[in-house]
Amino acid sequence: MSEAMTDPLPNPEPETLPPRAFGAGPPSAFAPPRPWKRRMQIAGWVVAALLALLMILIAWLAVTAPLSRSLKPIAPPSISLMSADSHLIARRGAIIDRPVTVAALPEHVPQAFMAIEDRRFRSHWGVDPRGIARAAWHNLWSSGSSQGGSTITQQLAKGVFLSADRTFGRKAREALIAFWLEAWLTKDQIMERYLSNVYFGDNVYGLRAASLHYFNRQPERLTIPQAAMLAGLLKAPSRLAPTANLKGAQERATLVTQAMVEAGYISKAQRNALSPARLNVQEAPDPTSGTYFADWVLPQARDRAGAVYGAQNVTTTLDWRIQRLAEAAIRRAPLGKAQAALVAMKPDGSVVAMVGGKNYRESAFNRAVQAKRQPGSTFKLFVYLAAFRAGMTPDDFVEDTPITTGTYRPANHGGKYRGRITLRQAFAASSNVAAVRLTQKVGVDNVIKVARDLGVTAPLTEDLSLALGTSEIPLVELTEAYAAVAAGTYPVLAHGLPPEEEGWFDRLMSRRKRFSDDHLEMIRDLLSSAANRGTGSAAALRTSTFGKTGTTQDSRDAIFVGYAGGLVTAVWIGNDDNSPLPGGAAGGGVPARIWRNFMAGAINEPVEDAPEDTKDSDLVNAIANVATEAGLGNMSVGLDTQGVTVNIGGGQIRLPIDQPPGPPPGPQPAAPPPRIIVPADPTAGDQEP
């Protein structure tokens, strides 16, 4: 055997191991946990934490939610409207009656309410997850209408035991109280409490009171159409009350009967045989106080509060001091037998004062909101804004001459014309023919578009007479439009309650827009000219004043709308029967002086009495616009109580009243003697034919 075969195999080299760190223990004898076991441990910790959080939440709700009150009698509702500075405006109680008993009602009465409000009322435990999911899905994909997921039990909990806030805490307490009610009361008892206390509009609470109010019959005798109409009111009781919105209430009742068919309560044949419910309204006297503002804001206050029972104080936007000034200004005005209205709001639409007539006790009809009257020349705001959108400026010219073509032949009041004048002069003088020519140029549709953008919702005539304010508009909408100019954004919506905080989505979807800087500057230029040197000069304050007069045919309406010192105010005078005002009253007369007296106090500016020879006449307007035509371009001379203003082209010269006017500086070419036109009628150029 060879030596190579007999030699032993060499020893393998020992495996090289890394040095053990000092102090390190021996390797663990246990295998590391598997990943799925680790996940199970984490899941267990999460579940335990959630259970602990749930127990804490339930304990908190049990302490904060008024469970002890849930089985006690329900307190009758009442609302006290408070001014922004905590003065009581009005206190309104409720029209209520005896509770109802489900067993005594026709079967279709509770079925109508369940069909439209809570179809699974008989099967859920107070909260309906399926209903919540269905409502969430509908609201996610719906472009308009929204659905709620609250059950009848939750609505009872919210309306009787909780406040009207929309926080998560309130919703959680509402759910807990709903479970509590379901545990202690039968379904019929819950339905009885709900029907006996829910709000049906017109200050009426409870099914019995609503049945007597709208149909003059006990609820035990309600027909299917009547029950459907009452059930339909609960979505928006103030808006759908059939006394004010019969069409809306009937349309909603149709949805209820369709829901009753889908729920299997009635057949299609029964539904098709039904006739709409007929009203037999029984008015109940209101023993509580009221004001024009309170009547206007109360429905919104009730809707915001929901059907919450017990005494409530609702803070409004009204300013007590400014309201008293408004009432005093109307009371002191020389109105004779005429009526008057006033609306004052901040540029954001917060109404701080409202007067709807001379005497609320004699007439509760709110002429500031409910009456629709022609705005006259105040409507020219929209005409000139449309002209600016079309590219024109206040220094562009328009013909203030008779219109001799076409079928519509408007004229200036008193037959006074000024020839070729600037838009600024035309607006200040309230030229009718100039406004119609501008409307012809920019188009009626564009004028209507501006009015709609600024919040006018009333129907508007689609012809050239629109330029002269022949379409009837509520005074509050006219005020909103001028508030938009004051704010620089549009539209502005008048409101009597502080606005609720908007979520990010609401802010994202807001349709408010800003005026372009150029358009805003130009329209404010015109409003300043009209209020300080034009037909509205009787309203001019020391503070920068912006506004416009309006007078309708035969002096049936006289209006002044304007703003100063952060306050927007509109004043209207007229007769309820639409008869002419005596003495040819105009917007630059009594309304402008009411406006000035009120605004001076509202913005804390001292009022200087007008000269004796102008107190009882409209002579202030007679010196408002003196137009001349010279050889070079166009020149105008404006006279007011402070002095003389000479406009030549784009330049302006201001002379004090005690300094005789001289020629403008610089060489002057020879020109024929100027032709001066002074309106003999103090309202010339403001009143539409």
Distance CA 398, CA 226 (A): 61
Residue type, position 326, single letter: A
- Report the pLDDT value the prediction gives residue 46, as an integer from 0 to 100: 85
Q: How open is the CA angle 636-639-645, to the nearest 5 degrees?
A: 55
Distance CA 655, CA 645 (A): 6
Q: What is the 3-state secondary structure (H, E, C) of 521-567?
A: HHHHHHHHHHHHCCCCHHHCCCCCCEEEEEECHHHCEEEEEEEECCE
- Report the pLDDT value the prediction gives residue 264, as an integer from 0 to 100: 95
Distance CA 197, CA 358 (A): 37
Burial of residue 614, with CB atoms counted within 10 A of its CB: 0-12 exposed, 13-18 middle, 19 or more buried: middle
Strand segments, DSSP code E, in 27-124 are: 78-82, 88-92
For 83, 84, 145, 344, 351, the CA distances from 317, given in Å and listed in that order, are: 6, 5, 29, 11, 6
- Report the pLDDT value the prediction gives residue 74, as an integer from 0 to 100: 62
Are residues 150 and 158 in contact, defined by beta-carbon separation less than 8 angstroms? yes
Are residues 546 and 563 in contact, defined by beta-carbon separation less than 8 angstroms? yes
Pairing of strands 397-400, 419-422: antiparallel
Local structure of 490: helix, strand or coil: strand
Distance CA 674, CA 23 (A): 113
Are residues 230 and 210 in contact, defined by beta-carbon separation less than 8 angstroms? yes
Are residues 654 and 643 in contact, defined by beta-carbon separation less than 8 angstroms? yes
Structure tokens at 155: 């609505």
> Is it true that 95-273 and 327-500+512-611 share their CATH fold?
no
Distance CA 250, CA 242 (A): 8
Distance CA 665, CA 647 (A): 13
Distance CA 560, CA 342 (A): 10
Are residues 571 and 550 in contact, defined by beta-carbon separation less than 8 angstroms? no
Structure tokens at 216: 């003059």
Largest CA distance in the chain: 153
Bridge partners (DSSP) listed for residue 81: 90, 314
Q: How open is the CA angle 183-189-194, to the nearest 5 degrees?
A: 105
Comparing CA positions, the residue from 545, 479, 491 lying closest to residue 343 is 479
- Report the pLDDT value the prediction gives residue 183, as an integer from 0 to 100: 83
Pairing of strands 351-355, 88-92: unpaired
Rg (CA), the chain: 36
Domain ranges of the chain: 95-273, 327-500+512-611
CA torsion 256-301-198-274 (nearest 10°) is: -20
Name the phi and psi angles at 548, rounded to 5: -150, 140
Half-sphere exposure of 677 (CA within 13 A, CB side): 21
Profile the chain (689 residues) by mean pLDDT over runs of 10 residues: 48 53 54 72 84 74 56 67 90 84 96 93 83 60 54 81 57 78 89 91 90 96 97 92 94 96 95 94 62 90 66 89 96 95 97 96 94 96 97 96 91 89 95 96 97 95 95 97 96 92 59 90 96 94 96 94 97 96 91 97 74 36 32 42 46 44 41 33 41
- Report the pLDDT value the prediction gives residue 287, as an integer from 0 to 100: 44
Distance, CA of 469 to chain centre = 23
- Looking up tokens 């299609």 gives 268
- Report the pLDDT value the prediction gives residue 650, as an integer from 0 to 100: 43
Distance CA 63, CA 58 (A): 9
Structure tokens at 648: 């030549």
Comparing CA positions, the residue from 66, 293, 96 lying closest to residue 205 is 96
Is CATH 3.30.1060.10 the classification given to domain 95-273? no
- Report the pLDDT value the prediction gives residue 33, as an integer from 0 to 100: 63
**Number of Cβ within a 10 Å radius of residue 264:** 10
Are residues 316 and 82 in contact, defined by beta-carbon separation less than 8 angstroms? yes
Write down the CATH number for the domain with range 327-500+512-611: 3.40.710.10
Residue type, position 477, single letter: E
